[in-house]
Amino acid sequence: ATLRSSENTRHFWASRSVDGESGTSFSRGARGTIFAQVYRPTAAMVYESEIQFTLDTICPWTYLAKRRLDRALEQIPSDAPVRFSVKYLPYQLYPEASQAGEDKYEWYKKSKYDDSEEKMKMYTTLMSAYGATEGIEYKFGGTVANTLQAHRLIQHFQEVKGVEVADKIVKSLYRQYFEEEKHPSSSDTLLRAATEAGVPESEAQAFIGDEDEGLMDVKMLIREQAGNGIDSVPYIVIEGKRRDLTLVGAKEVEEYVKALIQVIKESG
């Protein structure tokens, strides 16, 4: 059954017997009463699972998936025997887009909906409804443009500052583009994302100003993703001790929770 709350998730752990996969052992008292003893996994017992999250910062479905995955991760108990961390990988939906870009609304209408205002309004209504369920206020003005420099920023600071800083950068880039109608990869957008994530302004400016630093590495990662058969985003791979679980597209929170718990069950 799908678990929908942290209470249910915790109950999951409190109801299993010790068999190499559990968090509970049982002992029998003098009158035959069975007592449950919940143990806490030690550091040596904790399995580190990397979640590879392939994204493009101008994909509305990927923004939705990130919010839902974040909610799912919040439902996993802090004392679970698996510790999850998210690593972001780059993908470009429209690599041919220019850095200057063009009007987002008109571009979507022409390239996706046959220049039909009616179809475009159906799309904006649908995405607005989906976004509202996750606290996202999608807006459809602004500029659609090449995202290579945004990916370069994410990958660099993920490498030198860690996953928490990268996560904050990704959140800022999504919010700026989808909710504030900012350019997806302008210097101003990138600088704001970096400083909001705690990167010193001078350090962020120096990196953003050198547009070649790390560029070849990002392009190589994008080619690797394509070589792995990825042709759409979001594309999420949850590393497991026995097997990896792959989820393509923006799944419901419950589906992410189910996958995370499956990895936990198989970590023993």
C-alpha to C-alpha distances, 2 to 71, 72, 133, 240, 250, nearest whole angstrom: 15, 12, 19, 19, 17
Write down the pLDDT at residue 33. Answer: 41
Residue linked to tokens 């792959």 = 246
Does the pLDDT of residue 44 top 90, yes or no? no
Task: Return mean pLDDT, the chain.
Answer: 88
CATH architecture, domain 49-265: 3-Layer(aba) Sandwich (3.40)
Pairs from 162-171 (Cβ < 8 Å, separation ≥ 24): 163/85, 163/86, 163/87, 165/197, 165/198, 165/199, 166/87, 166/88, 166/197, 167/86, 167/88, 168/193, 168/196, 168/197, 168/198, 169/193, 169/194, 169/196, 169/197, 170/55, 170/57, 170/66, 170/88, 171/66
Q: Are strands 34-38 and 47-55 parallel, antiparallel or unpaired?
A: unpaired
Q: pLDDT for 81-99, tens place per residue?
A: 999 999 999 999 999 999 9
Residue 108: strand, helix, or coil: helix
Q: pLDDT for 175-197, tens place per residue?
A: 999 999 999 999 999 999 999 99
In whole angstroms, give the CA distance from residue 195 to residue 214.
19
Write down the pLDDT at residue 10. Answer: 37
**Domain residue ranges in the chain:** 6-43, 49-265
Q: Is the peptide bond before 41 cis (omega within 30 degrees of 0)?
A: no
CB count in 10 Å sphere of residue 202: 8
Please report which confidence band the pLDDT of residue 43 belongs to, taking 50, 70 and 90 as the band edges. Answer: low
Mean pLDDT value of segment 136-165? 98
CB count in 10 Å sphere of residue 35: 9
Write down the pLDDT at residue 45. Answer: 83
The DSSP H or E segment spanning 188 is: helix 187-196
